[in-house]
Amino acid sequence: MSPHPNQILKDVFGYDAFRPGQEEVMNTILAGENVLVVMPTGAGKSLCFQIPALARDALTLVVSPLVALMEDQVAALRLAGVAAETINSSRPYDVNAASWRRVAAGESRLLYISPERLMTDRMLAALSRLPVGLLVVDEAHCISRWGPSFRPEYEGLSRIGSLFPDASIAAFTATADVATRDDIAGKLFGGQGRIFVAGFDRPNIRLAVEPRGDWKHQLLEFVRERAGESGIVYCLSRKKTEEAAVFLNDNGVRALPYHAGMDAGARTANQETFMTEAGTVMTATIAFGMGIDKPDVRYVFHANLPGNMESYYQELGRAGRDGAAADAFMLYGLDDIRQRRFFIQDDNGDDAHKRREHKRLDSLIAYCETPTCRRRTLLSYFGEDPEPCGNCDVCLNPPALEDGRDPGNAVANAVRETGQRFGAAHVIDVVRGADTEKIRSMGHERLSAYGAGATVSKDDWRSIIRQMVASGLLDLDYQGHGGLSLTPNGDAFSRGEVEFRYRRHPARTKSSSRASKSGSGAAQAAQLSAPDAELLAALKRLRLDLARERGVPAFAVFADRALIDMAQRKPRDGIEFLAVNGVGAAKLRDFAEPFLAAISAAVDQE
């Protein structure tokens, strides 16, 4: 008789209870139904298919887009005593061949594989001879052209239902709006299945956006407030990624770059350092992140505007996976909007696809300029309607909305009178009455708009113009040099038919008012006494040593929550150690001795 999911949860993974939403998903999978599961990062998606895989006699195929993700998950499963395998391009032929032999012999019920390798004729023919009972598509948004991260190699997966007619399909993602969900379900199982949406809120992550000024100064100030914490800094270009890493290192912050233009060995080495060593900052393009299962990333800093709301949500979700307080902080400016518009138009998609992408970007721009709770704006995009969160910059430091008739008309007049072809910098010089060679050569000092806003700072004018773009009053020429023009709404505003209200950007609140909400891990850690906190630090050092010995990420040995539980319980023997959150049979066997010794040594010193 197959073991019950609750028994597997305790005996293998060392947990006493499922998280919200997990059990219903597992029961549906075990009943043989197709499912699409949308769960926020850190909510426990992996257990939703790993436990059903261990509860059945058939083989489960897990399709994953990244080698690093597969390697980490298989390493963690093996430490938990699960005979999991992966076949991927990073491994030598003989290692892959040995893994296949174990799978073919029925010694493993979990095989992680990339879509490219799965969809070869040779692999499909070999798998057709095995009892495949469950097909798992991880990071399932990659299959949808409606989603933020479409990958052509995923498109072939739309055939897996017909290739394995006796297997059920389970797709998982943290990021999918309604259109993307329907597209995924239609491609993978013709819409014949259940869709579970567990909610998108990550209340432990504080959200904040700031206009970009001196981005290096802004970055350094932010990172220094979080000295000794791990974080990710996302940059739009490879050059800026390298520049940010050099700048942070020159200012005493350990930072490593990661982008697709680097040597593969250097990228891998930097990623391993980030995963295993505390307090490391990764400066990266979006090439870094998917499947990075590092629970204690304390912040994600966007030096540039992401591509759309889904990408932003996916990237900020790499912070605070352990449930402890974390930050998502973004800088943006008009140049970002222009570049993002250009990227959309330069894409190979058809006109309908480009229109959708422009609308997605519009939603993110509106999020940046919202005068109300930022979390409500973010979650409403995904179809949720929460109360104001009290954990974003707008809630913590509400802006005052002001009547924008006078400044808005000053900008609109300057844009119209200069021919609707100049960028924000020149328009601001005109309204401020600047004496520049460009203004003199164009005769713009003779315009009625010249000097209409001389007492307003450049920063305030930049903010007003961004908000006019976000409100649909001004259009930005993304194919040229960022020239501003009036939209039909902008013309209506000039005639007094449309209202414009704008916000003054308040000063940024410091780290003392950071993420006021936190998960159980943070709450537990905050309650530790000084001796227990010292013990926790010792347990973390031991965990890192053991992880390095085995060549696995530290979290694969034990999550922070397990170490916090150890520091509080102070188990004295194997029976008490087994009661620690996250300790199953295999970890009791492999890790009880060194951790019990460390705990005993600490207790003796008290």
DSSP per-residue string spanning 351-385: HHHHHHHHHHHHHHHHHHH-SS-HHHHHHHHTT--
Lowest-pLDDT range of 281-290, 313-322, 420-429, 595-604: 281-290
What does the pLDDT look like over 355-365, one tens digit per residue?
A: 878 888 888 98
* CA angle, 266 then 267 then 271, to 5°: 115
Compute the average pLDDT of residues 338-348.
Answer: 86
What does the pLDDT look like over 24-54, one tens digit per residue?
A: 999 999 999 999 999 887 778 899 999 999 9
Residue 220 has pLDDT above 90, yes or no: yes
What does the pLDDT look like over 87-128, one tens digit per residue?
A: 988 889 999 999 999 999 999 999 999 998 999 999 999 999
Domain formed by 527-605, architecture: Orthogonal Bundle (1.10)
Indicate the helix (H) or strand (E) that contains 329: strand 326-332
What does the pLDDT look like over 295-305, one tens digit per residue?
A: 889 999 999 99
What does the pLDDT look like over 355-410, one tens digit per residue?
A: 878 888 888 988 998 888 999 889 888 878 888 999 999 999 888 888 999 999 99
Token couple for 420: 């609707």
Say how far apart CA 524 and CA 507 lie, in whole Å: 32
The CA distances from residue 339 to 19, 174, 261, 457, 489, in Å, are 41, 26, 20, 25, 23
Which comes out higher in pLDDT, residue 214 or 198?
214
Average per-residue pLDDT in the chain? 88
Domain map of the chain by residue range? 5-197, 205-396, 401-503, 527-605
Say how far apart CA 166 and CA 7 lie, in whole Å: 26
Class in CATH terms, 401-503: mainly alpha
Phi then psi for 208, rounded to 5 degrees? -155, 145
User: For residue 97, what pLDDT is reported?
Assistant: 94
pTM beyond 0.85: no
Class in CATH terms, 205-396: alpha beta
What does the pLDDT look like over 160-182, one tens digit per residue?
A: 999 999 999 999 988 787 888 88
Reported confidence tier of residue 289, pLDDT bands at 50, 70, 90: low
User: For residue 291, what pLDDT is reported?
Assistant: 58
Compute the average pLDDT of residues 508-514.
Answer: 45
Q: Which CATH superfamily is domain 5-197 in?
A: P-loop containing nucleotide triphosphate hydrolases (3.40.50.300)
Reported confidence tier of residue 516, pLDDT bands at 50, 70, 90: very low
Residue whose entry in the numeric block shows the structure tokens 């290739």? 163
Domains 205-396 and 527-605 share a fold: no
User: For residue 277, what pLDDT is reported?
Assistant: 80
Say how far apart CA 505 and CA 79 lie, in whole Å: 49
Compute the average pLDDT of residues 141-148.
Answer: 73
Compute the average pLDDT of residues 572-601.
Answer: 95
Residue whose entry in the numeric block shows the structure tokens 């219903």? 24
Share of the chain above pLDDT 70, in %: 93
